[in-house]
A and B are shown apart, each in its own frame.
Chain A
Amino acid sequence: MTPEDDAQDRELLERYRRASDTLSTAPNDAVRAAILAEGRRVAEQHAAGQRAAEQHATGQRTEGARQEFDVSHPAANDSRWKITATGTAGAALLAALLFAPRLWESGPIVPAASSGAPAVLNSPPQQRAAEQLAAEAQRAQSSSANPSAPRPGSMAPREQSFDAKARAPKLESAAPPSSTPALVAAAGKTIPRATALSPGSDFPAPPQRQADAGVQSPAPAGRSESANAAPAAKSEPPSVSSADRGESKVTLEAPPTGSPAAPMRSQPTAGAALRAAPRVDKVSSGTAPAPAALVSAVASGDAAQTVALLDQGAAIDGRDELGRTPLMRAVLQGRSDLVRLLLDRGADLHVADNTGNTPLQQATRQNSREIIALLEARERAGRAQ
Chain B
Amino acid sequence: MSLSQESDAELMVRFARGDADAFENLYRRHESRVFRYLHRNVRDEAAANDLMQEVWLAVVRRAASYQPTAKFTTWLFTIAHHRMVDLIRTTGRLQSLEADGADTPGAGLLDSLAADPKLEPPAEVQSQCEATALLNAVAQLPPDQRSAFLLQAEGDLSVEEIAAATGSSFETVKSRLRYARTKLRQLLWEYA
Interface string of A25-49 (1 = CB under 8 A from B): 1111001101110111011111111
Contact A27 B48 (CB under 8 A): yes
Contact B134 A16 (CB under 8 A): yes
Chain A CB within 10 Å, residue with most, of B15, B18, B39: B18
State in angstroms the CA–CA spacing of A27 and B46 once bound together. 9
Contact B49 A27 (CB under 8 A): yes
Cβ contact of A23, chosen from B23, B60, B132, B181, cutoff 8 A: B132
Cβ contact of A47, chosen from B17, B24, B134, cutoff 8 A: B17
**Contact of B64 with A by CB under 8 A:** yes
CB-defined contacts of A280 to chain B, threshold 8 Å: none
Distance to closest chain B CB from A18 (angstroms): 7
Distance to closest chain A CB from B26 (angstroms): 9
CB-defined contacts of B166 to chain A, threshold 8 Å: none
Question: Contacts A9-B181, A35-B52, A36-B27 given: A22-B127 contact, CB under 8 Å?
Answer: yes
Distance to closest chain A CB from B48 (angstroms): 7
State in angstroms the CA–CA spacing of A27 and B34 once bound together. 10
Cβ contact of B27, chosen from A22, A35, A42, cutoff 8 A: A35
**Contact of B164 with A by CB under 8 A:** no
Give the interface size class of chain A: 20 to 34
CB-defined contacts of B40 to chain A, threshold 8 Å: 20
Contact B60 A38 (CB under 8 A): yes
Question: Contacts A20-B36, A24-B32, A27-B35 given: A46-B27 contact, CB under 8 Å?
Answer: no
Interface residues of B in 32-83 (CB under 8 A from A): 32, 35-36, 39-40, 45, 48-49, 52-53, 56-57, 60-61, 63-64
**Contact of A77 with B by CB under 8 A:** no
Question: Contacts A26-B31, A28-B49 given: A42-B153 contact, CB under 8 Å?
Answer: no
CB-defined contacts of A48 to chain B, threshold 8 Å: 18
Contact B135 A50 (CB under 8 A): no
Cβ contact of A31, chosen from B17, B53, B131, cutoff 8 A: B53
State in angstroms the CA–CA spacing of A35 and B63 once bound together. 14
**Contact of B185 with A by CB under 8 A:** yes
Distance to closest chain A CB from B30 (angstroms): 11
From B138, which residue of chain A is reached at the shortest CB distance?
A: A16
**Contact of B158 with A by CB under 8 A:** no
Chain B CB within 10 Å, residue with most, of A16, A18, A25, A42: A16
Cβ contact of A19, chosen from B23, B63, B131, cutoff 8 A: B131
State in angstroms the CA–CA spacing of A24 and B39 once bound together. 10
From B137, which residue of chain A is reached at the shortest CB distance?
A: A16
Distance to closest chain A CB from B38 (angstroms): 9
**Contact of B19 with A by CB under 8 A:** yes
Contact B56 A35 (CB under 8 A): yes
Contact B32 A26 (CB under 8 A): yes
Can you name 9 A-B pairs with beta carbons within 8 Å? A12-B185, A13-B152, A16-B184, A25-B32, A25-B35, A27-B48, A35-B57, A39-B15, A46-B15
A residues neighboring B (CB under 8 Å): 8-9, 12-13, 15-20, 22-28, 31-32, 34-36, 38-40, 42-50
